[in-house]
Structure 1
């Protein structure tokens, strides 16, 4: 979750810095994969959401040309934890990681035994963090009967419920300490389906409460230590039928 900025001085400092950066970078080349971001205006100084959006625009941007086969599936809270520390670039707190990663360490009250466990785990933890840092393109999968709202005839699209706000976050039950947030979820909140036959098919699944599967492809942009959260940029969304047929994508 992207927390609201409560301190007005901090808001002013961030916004002013962003305005300066925007002015300095006006003539710089824009990466082909990253859309041009408009600079925050003075009217945005007291708008925490506007400032947060501007801050997110300064984060590294994913390359849309990256093939989907290069995205690795993320389905464990431990994977989120390793990605978090890979993005954080700070000294690794091995004891904190061992508390949730090793049941033996968490159960032990013997300080010598715990030290031995940390020593044994350190190379593996380092390897997992390095692997996660080297693979910032990830894929999240969700299967449920209530992923979408009913068809919007005016917009010719289905609303993806989990993407109607950039303030939402998610986690895995095996390690809920480390979470995932999406900086641009609202850009993907409406799944366009202009073909009426396909829209009828999807609506039919929704009316029958059938489980649809959704793949969300993301780029890990940053780590937020205040919330133990990895910030993700959504790159692509794909919707599949119960029989695993592609229904829609954007």
Structure 2
């Protein structure tokens, strides 16, 4: 599992990639079966994406885990290899595999970061491909076939809920302003936000502290996790 952090003030968002090889085999060259290339790789890749909400602390707790519904099971895609030297070293083979995987639509739909593409490359089959590509029988041609699965995890902390909140716009013309239900002081004194589920407003610092202990609105007790995270996904 590769996890990369993209945050500013604390671990608001973590992204995890778990790639695994399901099967690997070597088949006759495409040219032997009527194809035009002696060397090729045939890839089958399935993709699943999950959203999780974690409460941080000494013992992190998973409060929400939900599949976003994006589950792609791609059909086999064949990539011809014109230059065999692209598969004859570990570095070159990893680069070639990455270039092939970057063309798969089910992986492109995940909008992976630059470093995450390296984590998707199945490292366990690289030495097997290199060994065959360097062998004396390589000149006869080959087609490597492998199936893999990729799990994409987007993990949110309490700060992600705060980022999904809308900045409170105070009506300066009003004779009276609302109070923060947490500290009971007026909202006009410092930055305030409205929750994405119920639009109840609180001081930013107050609701930030509250989210470190609970994921409900302090006033109506509505759970802001799911709607808040889905709104954050669209930011």
TM (norm. structure 2) is: 0.29
Larger fraction in helix = 1
What is the TM-score normalised by the length of structure 1? 0.27
RCO comparison, higher one (Cα < 8 Å, 6+)? 2
Report the structure, 1 or 2, having the larger strand content: 2
Structure label with greater radius of gyration: 2
